[in-house]
Amino acid sequence: MTRIAVIDLGTNSIRLLVAEAGKNGQMKALEKKQAITRLGEGMAGGYLLPEAIERTINAAKSYLNISRLWQAEKIIPVATSAVRDAVNQAHFLALMRKETGLKVCVLSGREEALYSYSGVLAGLPLSGVAPVVVDIGGGSTEFSWKVKEEMFSASVRAGAVRMTENPSSDKEIKDILTPALKEVHRASPQILVGVGGTVTALAAMAQKLKEYDSNKVHGYTLLLKQVEQILITLKNFSFEERRTLPGVQPERADIIEAGGRIVRIIMEDLGLGTLKVSETDLLYGLAREKAFSVG
Is the pLDDT reported for residue 294 higher than 70?
no
Q: pLDDT, tens digit, for every residue of 247-271?
A: 998 999 999 999 999 999 999 999 9
Question: 101: pLDDT confidence band, cut at 50, 70 and 90?
Answer: very high
Nearest to 137 by CA among 283, 286, 291: 283
Q: Please report, rounded to a whole number, the percentage of residues in the chain having pLDDT higher than 70.
A: 99
What is residue 37's DSSP assignment?
-
How far is the C-alpha of 135 from the C-alpha of 184, rounded, in Å? Answer: 14
pLDDT at residue 45, as a whole number: 80
Amino acid found at 243: R
pLDDT at residue 25, as a whole number: 77
Q: Under a CB-based contact definition with an 8 Å cutoff, are residues 132 and 184 in contact?
A: yes
- Residue 145 forms beta bridges with which residues? 152
Class of 125-277 per CATH? alpha beta
Q: pLDDT, tens digit, for every residue of 204-260?
A: 999 999 999 999 999 999 999 999 999 999 999 999 999 999 999 899 999 999 999
How far is the C-alpha of 206 from the C-alpha of 227, rounded, in Å? Answer: 8
Domain ranges of the chain: 2-109, 125-277
Of 28-37, 123-132, 269-278, minimum mean pLDDT range: 123-132
Q: pLDDT, tens digit, for every residue of 154-194?
A: 999 999 999 999 999 999 999 999 999 999 999 999 999 99
Same fold flag, 2-109 and 125-277: yes
How far is the C-alpha of 275 from the C-alpha of 264, rounded, in Å? Answer: 10
Give the pLDDT mean for 64-75: 97
Amino acid found at 188: S
Classify domain 2-109 by CATH number.
Answer: 3.30.420.40
What is residue 237's DSSP assignment?
S
pLDDT at residue 229, as a whole number: 97
pLDDT at residue 133, as a whole number: 97
Q: What is the pTM of this model?
A: 0.93
